[in-house]
C-alpha cells in the first residue's frame, strides 16, 4: 500500500513530543526523551519519522556499527497500523543506512511480538539466535534477527518488490 501524503524524513528534536506519545503507548519499557535526544546527536545514528500532514504517524531508528545497522526502534501510531507505514519506515531506514555504509541489519525482538516478527520476516530478516530473559520487565526472551547482505542482487530484488508495494520517495 502506498501513501502519497506520507513524508519520511530525519527525526528532529521538535518531533520528540509526538514521538514520546507513541513510544509510551507502544512499549512496556519506553525510552525517555533524553535517550532520544542523545540518539539524535550520534553521527552513526539514523532516526526517521513518517509524517502524514501535521500528524506523526511513526518512527524508526538504527545505529551503524561498522557495516552492521542495529535497528533500535520502530513504532507506528496505534490507530494507523496495518496501512503499510511500518513497512515504509523500514524501507526508508534500509535505504538510508545502506547509503551510510551498512551491509547487514540486525535487531532484537520480543518472542511474542508477532506483528513485528512478521514485518521483519517480510524484509528478509531471519532468526539467528535467542537471548534468554533479555527484556527485564517480564524476562521475555529476545529473538536475534539478521538480514543477508543488503547489497546482494537477491536482496535488491526483494527491496524492489517491497518498494513497489509500500511506496517510498526521497531519503529522509
Ligand X SMILES: CC(C)(COP(=O)(O)OP(=O)(O)OC[C@H]1O[C@@H](n2cnc3c(N)ncnc32)[C@H](O)[C@@H]1OP(=O)(O)O)[C@@H](O)C(=O)NCCC(=O)NCCS
The residues carrying an active-site annotation are: 108, 120
113 near ligand X, judged by CB under 6 A: yes
By beta-carbon proximity to ligand X, the closer residue of 64 and 145 is 145
Contacts of 135 (CB under 8 A, 6+ apart): 28, 29, 110, 141, 142
By beta-carbon proximity to ligand X, the closer residue of 1 and 65 is 1
Smallest gap from Cβ 118 to ligand X, in A, equals: 4
- Candidate residues 118, 132, 136, 139; the one interacting with ligand X per rule CB under 6 A: 118
By beta-carbon proximity to ligand X, the closer residue of 115 and 169 is 115
Residues in the chain: 172
159 near ligand X, judged by CB under 6 A: no
- Candidate residues 9, 26, 72, 146; the one interacting with ligand X per rule CB under 6 A: 26
132 near ligand X, judged by CB under 6 A: no
What gap in Å lies between CA 162 and CA 118, rounded to an integer? 14
- Candidate residues 6, 16, 48, 75; the one interacting with ligand X per rule CB under 6 A: 75
By beta-carbon proximity to ligand X, the closer residue of 151 and 164 is 164
116 near ligand X, judged by CB under 6 A: yes
56 near ligand X, judged by CB under 6 A: no
What gap in Å lies between CA 107 and CA 14, rounded to an integer? 27
81 near ligand X, judged by CB under 6 A: yes
What gap in Å lies between CA 38 and CA 32, rounded to an integer? 10
Q: Which residues bind ligand X (CB under 6 A)?
A: 26, 74-76, 81-87, 109, 113-116, 118-119, 122
Amino acid at each position: 500500500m502506498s501513501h502519497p501524503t506520507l513524508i519520511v524524513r530525519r527525526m528532529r528534536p521538535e518531533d520528540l513530543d509526538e514521538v514520546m506519545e507513541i513510544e509510551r503507548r507502544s512499549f512496556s519499557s519506553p525510552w525517555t526523551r533524553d535517550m532520544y535526544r542523545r540518539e539524535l546527536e550520534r553521527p552513526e545514528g539514523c532516526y526517521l519519522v513518517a509524517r502524514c500532514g501535521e500528524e506523526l504517524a511513526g518512527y524508526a531508528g538504527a545505529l551503524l556499527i561498522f557495516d552492521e545497522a542495529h535497528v533500535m526502534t520502530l513504532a507506528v501510531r496505534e490507530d494507523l497500523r496495518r496501512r503499510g507505514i511500518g513497512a515504509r519506515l523500514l524501507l526508508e531506514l534500509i535505504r538510508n543506512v545502506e547509503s551510510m555504509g551498512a551491509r547487514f541489519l540486525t535487531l532484537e525482538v520480543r518472542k511474542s511480538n508477532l506483528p513485528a516478527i512478521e514485518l521483519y520476516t517480510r524484509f528478509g530478516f531471519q532468526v539467528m539466535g535467542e537471548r534468554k530473559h533479555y527484556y527485564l520487565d517480564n524476562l521475555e526472551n529476545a529473538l536475534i534477527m539478521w538480514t543477508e547482505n543488503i547489497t546482494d542482487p537477491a536482496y535488491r530484488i526483494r527491496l524492489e518488490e517491497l518498494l513497489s508495494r509500500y511506496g517510498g520517495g526521497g531519503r529522509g
